[in-house]
Amino acid sequence: MTTWIIAYSKDGNTSTLKTEAERKLEMEDAVALVMRKAEQDYADEAHEVSEEEDMTPAQQLAERYGITITGISEA
C-alpha cells in the first residue's frame, strides 16, 4: 500500500492528511476524507449552508469549513 498526502488550505494555513491507498486518490475521495476530518476537528466553526443539495462535496467543504484541497501527492 502507498501512503498519500492530501494538502488542504484553511484560514490561509496549509495542513495535510495522510492516508493509505493502493492507487492515487480521486479528488472526490480526498474531499470525503477531509470532510470527515473537518466534521471532527472544526464542528464548532461550521457555517450553515442553505442550498447544500445543489453543491458538489468540494463546494460544501469550502462553504461549511472554509477548506480547499490544494493537492494530493505520494509520500
Three-state SS for 57?
A: helix
How far apart are alpha carbons 26 and 44 in whole angstroms? 28
The pTM score is: 0.88
Phi–psi pair at 12, nearest 5 degrees? 80, 5
Q: What percent of the chain lies above the pLDDT cut of 70? A: 95
Mean pLDDT score, 55-74: 94
